[in-house]
Amino acid sequence: MPDRFIEVSLDKRGVSCTAKLLDDRAPITCAAVWDALPLGGDVYHAKYARNEIYALIPPFAPQEPPLENPTITPIPGDLCYFTFSDTQLATSSYGYEAAAEQRGNEAAHAGRNTVIDLALFYERNNLLINGDAGWVPGIVWGQVVEGLDGMAEACQDLWRAGALGESLNFRRA
């Protein structure tokens, strides 16, 4: 199979990077994501994992991928896939309900039995542990091959200036 690439973007900030799908390491996840593109939604900056931005989106795979190519220590440029149940994200400590109230709509995961978290890790020293749940392994399904420095600067701006009104999007390149 020839290499496949996607564009990952923060549209409001006008920044993007290119990632290569890791079809050899996470073939089921890569196929599910590729077939569902374009994907995206409101962007969030991680509270627990550290240098991560992500979007919560409805399930899109015919069947959820198994935990292939797992990690709890993603490196800069890793794209990760997480599956969460509605109860895993229901505590107020995550802040989704407050953000939704400010926008006048429901939380990103409200009413869904399952929510998918598509994430980009932009810097080192990440550890996927959560105070409520413990270890949270993710599937590494892509690796940024171009534009990570500019994306990392935009992610730092998200952290400092806020994410309100920004979206994280994944498209075929």
Residue 131 confidence class, pLDDT cut points 50, 70, 90: confident
Both structure tokens of 161: 């200036």
What is the chain's length?
173
CB 115 within 8 A of CB 86: yes
Q: How far is CA 74 from CA 10, 129, 146, in A?
A: 20, 12, 17
pTM: 0.88
Give me the mean pLDDT over the 110-129 stretch: 88
Domain extents in the chain:
5-172
pLDDT digit string, tens, across residues 30-68: 999 999 999 999 999 998 789 999 999 999 999 999 999
Residue type, position 84, single letter: F
- pLDDT value for 132: 79
What is the phi-psi region of residue 147: left when phi exceeds 0, alpha when psi lies from -120 to 50, beta otherwise? left
- pLDDT value for 86: 72
- pLDDT value for 90: 61
Residue 85 confidence class, pLDDT cut points 50, 70, 90: confident
Range 5-172 has CATH code 2.40.100.20: yes
Instruction: State whether residue 129 is helix, strand or coil.
Output: strand
- pLDDT value for 66: 97
